[in-house]
Amino acid sequence: MSIDRRQFLKIAGISALGAGTAAANLIWKNSLEAIQAAPAEEGLTAKKWAMVIDMRKLKTEEDYKKITDACHSIHNVPDFGNPKDEVKWIWTDTYEHAFPGQENEYLPEAIKEKPFPLLCNHCENPPCVRVCPTQATFKRQDGIVMQDEHRCIGCRFCMAACPFGARSFNYRDPRPFIKEKNPEYPTRTKGVVEKCTFCTERLVKGLMPACAEKSNGAIAFGDLKDPNSEVRKLLSANYTIRRKQELGTQPSVFYIIGGSEK
């Protein structure tokens, strides 16, 4: 465990536990495994976090905007206003681009045109973790794929390795481009990679991910290993698909496509 990662966890720990230096010292001593094994009382834990996105429940443009805005504003995601430098944690694209190779031209128009929310899949078998030369990108015991922004050397190998385009690189200093800074969440620096974290900072506080919370029930989040969890119930009751399953990364984000209803 490096000083860098400890510092990172310390920051995460402070905001997460909201318990000042005592708690931070605890994490400092007990490192990563400690927060996984012993989170604050009210924290949410799981053997394997997963998400089910029910496309039937996402209807208006407003529905999508609430989700992406919630994530980007609380996580200090910058808006550079150009696609070249773009940083994004959750965004949308059409079926054809979200699930390339699975499209066919006779799909219902409603599905063809519908925007699908896309984010890091927190893969069970993540190539981004496999290739990272510094372990700055790592998988936690609960399945969440995280990165340590203080250790990342900015080689962007993980971006080449991720088949889902989930990762963004800070091509410039992001701080001047954050609309409204959330003081409770760390900002990043230029030259490091970032992506969705499944809202680890909220889970430890007992809160659901921000996108799930703002989705009016369209996004379910829960423990894939718990047969009684909401995600498992949805998965056993509906036909779901995942992105690029053939690559074997085992995404933890599932989509219920639904029929042609708008």
Partner 1 sequence: MIEKALTGSSRYWIWISFLLAVIGVGFIFYLKQLSYGLGITGLSRDVSWGLYISQFTFLVGVAASAVMLVIPYYLHDYKKFGKIVILGEFLAVAAVNMCLLFLLVDMGQPMRALNIFLYPTPNSIIFWDAVALNGYLLLNIVIGWTTLESERYSAPPPRWVKPLIYLSIPWAVSIHTVTAFLYAGLPGRHFWLTAVMAARFLASAFAGGPALLIILSMIVRRLSKFDPGREPIQAISKIVTYAMLANVFFFLLEVFTAFYSGIPGHKHPFQYLFVGLEGHGKLVPLMWLSVILAAAALILLVNPNTRKNEKTLLAACAAVFVSLWIDKGFGLIVGGFVPNPFERVTEYWPTLAEALITLGVWAIGILILTVLYKVAVSVREETAGADTEH
Positions in the binding site for ligand SF4 (CB under 6 A): 71, 75, 89-90, 119-123, 126-128, 131-134, 136-137, 145, 147, 152-158, 162, 164, 166-167, 193, 195-199, 209-211, 249
> What's the token pair of residue 195?
């992506």
* Binder of partner 1 out of 23, 161, 207, 235 (CB under 8 A): 161
Tell whether residue 248 is a contact of partner 1 (CB under 8 A). Answer: yes
Q: DSSP characters for 180-222? A: S--TTS----TT-EE---TTHHHHTTTPPPHHHHTTTTSEEEE
Cβ distance to partner 1 smaller for residue 149 or 223? 149
Span near partner 1 by CB under 8 A; candidates 13-21, 48-56, 89-97, 206-214? 89-97
- Cα dist from 258 to 58, 66, 102, 105, 239, whole Å: 11, 21, 15, 17, 8
Q: Which helix (H) or strand (E) holds 253?
A: strand 253-256
Cα distance between residue 172 and residue 255, in whole Å = 33
Tell whether residue 84 is a contact of partner 1 (CB under 8 A). Answer: yes
- Interface with partner 1: number of residues (CB under 8 A): 48
**What x-and-dash track marks residues 125-154 binding partner 1 by CB under 8 A?**
--x--xxxxxxx--------------xxxx
Cα distance between residue 27 and residue 204, in whole Å = 13
CB of 193 to partner 1, least distance (A): 8
**What φ, ψ does residue 176 adopt, rounded to 5°?**
-65, -10
Give the binding site for partner 1 (CB under 8 A). Answer: 2, 83-87, 93, 96-98, 100-101, 127, 130-136, 151-157, 159-165, 168-173, 190-193, 244, 247-249
